Structure 1
């Protein structure tokens, strides 16, 4: 007797949908889209499974199992790599994490990005340093004045995390003149934001690494102080032109929760003149390495 279709369990249905979604996204990305030669004798214009695996830095067998809907676990980091290779949009990324049954909060920090519109806003502030930061103090975007002021933060080998660079890189920390008051406030705001990410491994791993690498961070973290992100005056020391003082202004991006645009506005005329000089002389050494 035919009792109708066999019910599909939720995990099984999710894996089936994940497999179909990955195949559909793979089919729409051509080799040319990822900088690969087209090759010969392709049955479809999209990428092959082994090409996705190679570009994502994962095993071919493992990726094949994903597309076959097999019951395997997947990490947020691997999902990020696959999403990058398949050039997924932000809604598609969220859908991918949901189908893989990985909490979005666990990958939100590593997948954070800003829109071209936000980058255009940063670039429009051509006279003032400006940057987009999330609540974990990750640097998501910046303009040319910001790169001139903080070259270490925007360097190709930078971690792109403000706390990590300030606490572990002397070259970066020496520029921050009033860091004795600024750093405790930054850590306190980081602690407050952490309360919303207690189960996010990207946060707990960053905290562990910071505490292991910096006794100063470990001491400040142990105080359990909490605060809102600082909006105060920061003084920056440049080897060629001396001290520059900036008033920090933070602007919420309502479309991107936990992301702020920070603007460093010169606090006085002398700082404004020195910032103008710095922008006109981008090659000037910014750190006095004799100290």
Structure 2
């Protein structure tokens, strides 16, 4: 296994050095000692611990899961051929076919675009983000719906910034666990859902404890507080509405719960729209 581990280490280092920080939404922050990304940055982008990623580069983590490798491939902007190569040298086998989410229904897309002032997005039963509107991008950032922020369950438990910005994190996260248990019962043979649950159980102590308590909760509505770096603290109501076309997709909509939050959200969305128009 030593030659393969050496090849994995060399491949990951070379891939890191090829990625410019600005390509993945990171500030250059002046001169760097080495080109490309730091190990810590790759770990954060892939939603894994820095220690684990360092050990992966050193070939000391056993056989990593395919979902974790796909997260690293996305963080390093690997091509399809490079993704396959990463799996072969890290796992000794080709990866499963690239996941293609179910197409978004036309009516749901129309509803998304018809709510310019309300952050909204559509998820499937795995909580993969299928689409979001401009207001959601304004609130959660342009990376929302992509890479580590492409799945709201993974984002909630594995992306540190999400825990910091969700002031009612524990309540919201516990609801997510109960929701995933409901969805697992509905889709017991879905491999990607099983992979997601296994990943979260291994990577998050809170998720593992809450998963093992066997609580079931189908979240549909509630109120939460979000801390935004420029808009301050927003109190919003959230509603999850099921599509009636049998696709098991959900429309998630946020509405301001008080006057201050409404004004702050309107200012935030308007500034985002102005910035997009100026850039265009």
Q: Deviations over 1:239-280 (max 9, x none)?
A: 222111111122221114311111101111111000011113
Question: Structure 1 stretches (4+) deviating beyond 6 angstroms?
Answer: none
TM-score by length of 1: 0.58
Please give the secondary structure, in 1, of the residue aligned with 2:147: coil
Aligned length: 184
Alignment of 1:155-174 (within 5 A): 156-174=146-164
| Residue number among 179, 186, 200 corresponding to 1:189 in the alignment | 179
Determine if contact 2:175/2:217 at 8 Å carries over to the other structure: yes
User: Which residue, out of 116, 134, 137, partners 1:147?
Assistant: 137
Bigger relative contact order, structure 1 or 2 (CA pairs below 8 A, ≥6 apart):
2
1:152 CA drift (Å): 6.8
2:178 pairs with 1:178: no
Partner of 2:190: 200
Distance 1:204 1:174, change over 3 A: same
Distance (Å, rounded) in 2 between the aligned partners of 1:225 and 1:275: 34
Measured in 2, the distance between the counterparts of 1:190 and 1:153 equals 23
Give 2:270's match in structure 1, choosing from 250, 269, 280: 280
Long gaps (5+) in structure 1: 1-54, 59-74, 82-106, 284-291
Q: Return the alpha-carbon distance in structure 2 between the equivalents of residues 135 and 217 of structure 1.
A: 18
1:191–1:116 Cα change, 3 Å: same
How far off its partner does 1:199 sit?
Answer: 2.2
